Structure 1
Amino acid sequence: MHGPASSGWLLVALCAATGAYCLLRMRSDVEEQRRAAGGEALMGFGMALMAVPAAVFTPPAWAWPAYAAVFGAAALRALWAARNSRHHLHHLVGAGAMVYMSLVMAGSPGHGHVHGGSGFPPLTGALLLYFTGYVLLAGVRLVPVAVVAGPAPDPSRSPSAGGWGDRPEVARACRLSMGIGMLAMLLTL
């Protein structure tokens, strides 16, 4: 690594690519996948914006409260959607973490990017524990399992029938990537 700027750019690339893939997933025929993909795209692009190295771009003072408002609205939407799907609880925690990081940055001297020294340590620690557990669980879910021989799969029901945007393993990999990105951002608080 060549210092914080290069790791910042890697995080920007990871989060932006994840956000772009989630936008593609919004074209799915499955309604629940479209809804989840929209929240994940917002999260990916928001994380990418927050991770841009401060040497390249320092957002104006109003940007951090704006981030907090956008992700606060996303948290409320996730809370409403959590009535029907447990997965939206993760979106709620993620959006809450983004609000928290935005407020920390709004209160930091110079309004720099996520790079440290402030925040509420117990909350930061709790979020680090949550996202560490999430990343480990998401990683385990990506491990292939042995398939028991059975009837031949119906080609009309294969994952590729809906296009590569509907592949659940790629969606899981994107969630894993965003979890890793969230860990990296929280570690800098």
Structure 2
Amino acid sequence: MHGPASSGWPLVALCAATGAYCLLRMRSTVEEQRRAAGGEALMGFGMAAMAVPTAVAVPPRGVWIAYALVFGGAALRALWAARTGAHHLHHLVGAGAMAYMAAAMAASPGHHGHGGLPPLTGTLLLYFAVYVLWSGVRLVPVAAVATAGGAPALGWGDRPELARVCRLSMAIAMLAMLFAL
């Protein structure tokens, strides 16, 4: 994940901006959207922290273990929430991928990409590649939401097309991080 600065900083910026927008989405009046936005904010900020180029900071092994524990906990929460909706399965895969990458970095920081592609990494790459294509296609036909009878316009936290863009950008970032693993 700690790749060159030329690709690392744009990835950090994208993930941090996505996390910040997800924090705004937590102000939604829809409880389910607030809950999903919280998990997505955690993913965005966690991905930003994990993507910082090694020229700036090389976290010690304990930090990677902490990341693995935090995202392992997020994966368990998503597993529990998956009982009520399929979207939580994507959160489960995302949090599991983050825990996997953090555990790989804790096991041997800075020594990745020298032994072929592990099957789990390949499976995650395939999943996120398909998710990027699927969510990109879903984003294209999103129609503007009309407000009827003077109803208030949707706030920034309630815009479904922006939530989809956030999920798409995080999936693209996840692909980049998995490739760097």
Tell whether the structures are fold-level matches, with TM greater than 0.5: yes
Correspondence for 1:24: 24
Distance in 1, Cα, partners of 2:115 & 2:46: 20
Change in 2 beyond 3 A, CA 1:154/1:13: same
The equivalent of 2:179 in structure 1 is 187
Residue equivalent to 1:100: 100
Cα deviation, residue 94, structure 1? 0.3
Q: Give secondary structure in 2 for the equivalent of 1:100.
A: helix
| Cα shift readout 1:131-154 (whole Å, capped 9, x = no counterpart) | 00000011001102679xxxx751
Instruction: Tell me: CA distance 1:42–1:146, structure 2 relative to 1, closer, same or farther (3 Å).
Output: closer
Output the aligned Cα RMSD: 2.1
Once the two structures are superposed, the pairs formed by residues 163-178 of structure 1 within 5 Å of their partners are 163-178=155-170
Query: 2-side partners of 1:127 and 1:177: how far apart?
Result: 16
- 1:97-137: CA deviation from partner (whole Å, max 9, x where unpaired): 001101110111xx24x963368611011000000000001
Letter in 2 for 1:128: L
Match of 1:144 in 2: 141
Q: Within 5 Å, which residues of 2 pair with 1:39-58?
A: 39-58=39-58
Q: Find runs of 4+ consecutive structure 1 residues off by over 4 angstroms.
A: none
Does 2:127 match 1:135?
no
Larger Rg: 1
Give the percent of matched residue pairs that are identical in Structure 1 and Structure 2. 75
Counterpart in the other structure of 1:122: 119
Answer 1 or 2: higher relative contact order, Cα 8 Å, separation at least 6: 2
Unaligned residue ranges in structure 1 (runs of 5+): none
Alignment of 1:72-111 (within 5 A): 72-108=72-108, 111=109
